[in-house]
Amino acid sequence: MKPELLSPAGSPESLRAAVQNGAGAVYLGWGEFNARRGAKNFTDEEFAQALRYCHERGVRVFLTLNTLVTDRELPAALETARQACRLGVDSILVQDWGLFDLLRRTLPDLPLHASTQMSLFTSGGAREAAADGCERVVLARECSAEDTRTICETCPAEVEAFAHGALCMCYSGQCAMSALIGGRSGNRGRCAQPCRLPYGLNAPAGKAYPLSLKDSSLAGHLGEMAQMGVDCLKLEGRMKRPEYVAVVTGIYARLLEEGRGPTPAEEAELEQAFSRSGFTDAYWQGTHGRFMLGTRSPDTPEPKALFDAARAAYEKDSLRTVPVRFTCRIAADVPSVLTAEDPDGHSVTVTGAVPEAARTRALTAQSVEERLMKTGGTAYRCTDITVTVDDGLSLSAGAINALRRDVLSALSEARTAPPVRRELPVPPLPEEDCRADTPQFTLSLHRAEQLSDGLLACSPARISLPLDVLAHETALPQREGLIWCAELPRVWRDRDEDLLRRWLDHAASLGVTAALAGNLGHLPLLRGTGLTVLGDYGLNVFNGRSLAYLKDKGLASACVSFELRFAQIRDMPKVLPTEAIVYGRLPLMITENCLVQNAAGCRRDREGPAVPADGPCRSQQLLRDRTGAAFPLLPAFGHRTEIQNSRPLWLADRPDFRRLGLTFARLRFTTESAAECAEIFRAYREGRSAAGDFTRGLYERGVE
């Protein structure tokens, strides 16, 4: 079966360009809760018109409500969804767990799609989203053909994959670089794209762009994607101009329709429309490296001839029409009758004027057909017609034209009528109040060497270590009241899960009793292990509804997003014990590419998917920006890289975090030595000021 082609519609003109060039569906933003708030997007009137325009032509419309939403914003986000549902939107893309839970409970007949911002890249995560009510799962851009095939084979929901457009260096939904550096959150639709700026590895930023990837183009893999069961191919580009949308949509639509790969001329047109040093299909091929990097000069000339031709074509509004069949009956002494039928099963009938006896020239079936066939200027074309006319009758041209106009209007009403959907009341939150008077300190360590007697003497409530670190430990010191926790990899693949389960078993044998889950796919991985499941920061908890959702999933606590302000955390309904990070270098990115390997080269561990046991990416590496700020690079499971903020978060001298109702306050140790970890913990217990350069994070200033 041919996959649906989903095109971006950042404006009404882009929507028309997409529809006229063969899109099967479009995705667009309406209101304040979408991940491309910088696009023109749609006014209320334009949104209603867009739905009618698309549905009249057989194109589906998906609304993007895929940003994180605060408790105060949830009612407005729900109302946006309600209005869209009433107008007949075909689905809503969601990132926020609280909004997702609210929509599935209050608008149960409205299809929901798991946005790529949910960071889903395993079959377990995809199945979990499907079991919770997602009709479709949008996979991470980093998924390979192997990953995608595995998910398609096991996921009961539809699978959507990105086929063309921009690649972010960080996994979608896990990037905090724009938020922490400039206060503009990618999770809130305001990304400033710091990844497109120059950086230097262990050197001042020069002319290298180690975070800027080429655009992806999978135009040569569409047959393979269709064969493995990908249900929808997404084209990225809501921030790009309508002519770009027209060119790219038109080429991909032809490739799908004709079941072939692109010609050299089509490849050239795709590159002219927009590219960054060409294209890449590396992630799909299951590889990565510096060859994926690419930039685009602001002086790149517009492909005027290509764009002028594309615009001239879609502005005619005649490239996309719906075939209809007419059946007309004109008989003496009764109103004339015209029926229109479309391929989707709609059939409408209208009546018109009563014919008169002919005084001179009698009406013929051929003359009626000629009038009815004139559907120009509408969304329809007549492909078949049957006309029956009694002898000796007369009917004016105006009356026949009116029949045609009326029947097509009636057909449009039938095609654009919103479906009847239930609207249920907002369910109350659980009655539990898990607010605590004073939070207990928890620790997360990056290396086992950071553990010391001095650290243990401070009596943390919990210590977590990465699961791949625990895998190499033979014993853990036990203390009364201390909980040992395994921190699961933020990114992994289905092929890694047997290894991760073995490591979990080993961790349990060491006395580990809990696990930090930062991804929906962690939950099926942890079921049956006997470990207490705790929500990590990767889940992006932004409101009390998200806590309620995770409580229903069986989590015992959850860490809230570090993009929230103190007041927002304070006012969050704490239906689940809540944790916040109060110290440490906050994670800016998690990347599929090993940045050290791209810049300097390093050796992959041949014995497994973990980071190399030796090589430069295990030692301290720094990424420097144009201001001289240095961002430590930490190795992550699967030979990936996690970029840390240049300055640690310091709140020891701020009593605010102790009055938020938190159950746990986490000290996140990354680059610190064992002695520094213990000293920082003591400073927090005593409420001391910071000794060096630090940040208050986003807890005071918040994000856009």
pLDDT band at 307 (very low <50, low <70, confident <90, very high): very high
Query: Phi and psi at residue 592, in whole multiples of 5°?
Result: -70, -35
- Residue 642 domain-assigned (yes or no): yes
> pLDDT at position 616, please?
64
Q: Does one domain contain both 329 and 303?
A: no
> pLDDT at position 689, please?
95
Query: Phi and psi at residue 289, in whole multiples of 5°?
Result: 155, 180
> pLDDT at position 32, please?
81
Q: Does one domain contain both 53 and 109?
A: yes
pLDDT in tens, 263-294: 999 999 999 999 999 999 999 999 999 999 99
Summarize the confidence of residues 39-46 as an average pLDDT: 83
pLDDT band at 37 (very low <50, low <70, confident <90, very high): low
Domain final position from 315, 345, 365: 315
- Cβ density class 501-515: b for 16+ within 10 Å, e for less: eebbebbbebebebb
For residue 390, the enclosing domain spans: 322-416
pLDDT band at 612 (very low <50, low <70, confident <90, very high): very low
Calculate the average pLDDT of the chain.
95
Q: Does one domain contain both 310 and 328?
A: no
Q: Does one domain contain both 564 and 678?
A: yes
Domain final position from 282, 315, 348: 315
Position 611 pLDDT exceeds 50: no
Share of the chain above pLDDT 90, in %: 92
> pLDDT at position 604, please?
52
Which is more confident, 558 or 606? Answer: 558
> pLDDT at position 615, please?
57
295 in Cβ contact with 280 (< 8 Å): no
- Distance in angstroms (rounded) separating the CA atoms of residues 561 and 577: 14
Q: Does one domain contain both 310 and 331?
A: no
pLDDT in tens, 569-591: 999 999 999 999 999 999 999 99
- Residue 189 domain-assigned (yes or no): no
Nearest 10 degrees: CA dihedral of 63, 69, 73, 74?
70
Q: Does one domain contain both 15 and 112?
A: yes
Tokens of 544: 């009390």
pLDDT in tens, 317-369: 999 999 999 999 999 999 999 999 999 999 999 999 999 999 888 999 999 99
Domain final position from 291, 315, 339: 315
Position 602 pLDDT exceeds 90: no
Q: Does one domain contain both 471 and 579?
A: yes
Q: What is the CATH number of the domain that holds 530?
A: 3.20.20
Q: Poorest-confidence range of 29-33, 152-156, 553-557, 665-669?
A: 29-33
In 377-518, where does DSSP find H-type helix? 397-416, 453-456, 467-470, 497-509
pTM over 0.85: yes
> pLDDT at position 606, please?
35
Q: Does one domain contain both 409 and 482?
A: no
- Residue 592 domain-assigned (yes or no): yes
- Distance in angstroms (rounded) separating the CA atoms of residues 65 and 93: 6
- Residue 355 domain-assigned (yes or no): yes
Summarize the confidence of residues 449-461 as an average pLDDT: 97
> pLDDT at position 607, please?
37
- Distance in angstroms (rounded) separating the CA atoms of residues 590 and 421: 40
Number of domain units in the chain:
3
Q: Does one domain contain both 153 and 60?
A: yes
Tokens of 625: 């920006």
- Cβ density class 207-231: b for 16+ within 10 Å, e for less: ebbbbbbbbbbbbebbeebbebbbb
Q: Does one domain contain both 224 and 293?
A: yes
> pLDDT at position 220, please?
98
Q: Does one domain contain both 248 and 113?
A: yes
Beta bridge pairs of residue 589: 643
- Residue 432 domain-assigned (yes or no): no
- Residue 424 domain-assigned (yes or no): no
Report which of 91, 95, 34, 81 is spatially closest to residue 60, judged by C-alpha positions.
Answer: 91
Q: In Å, what is the CA distance from 150 to each residue of 1, 157, 222?
A: 18, 13, 17
- Residue 52 domain-assigned (yes or no): yes
> pLDDT at position 608, please?
42
- Residue 509 domain-assigned (yes or no): yes
Q: Does one domain contain both 288 and 336?
A: no
Beta bridge pairs of residue 517: 535
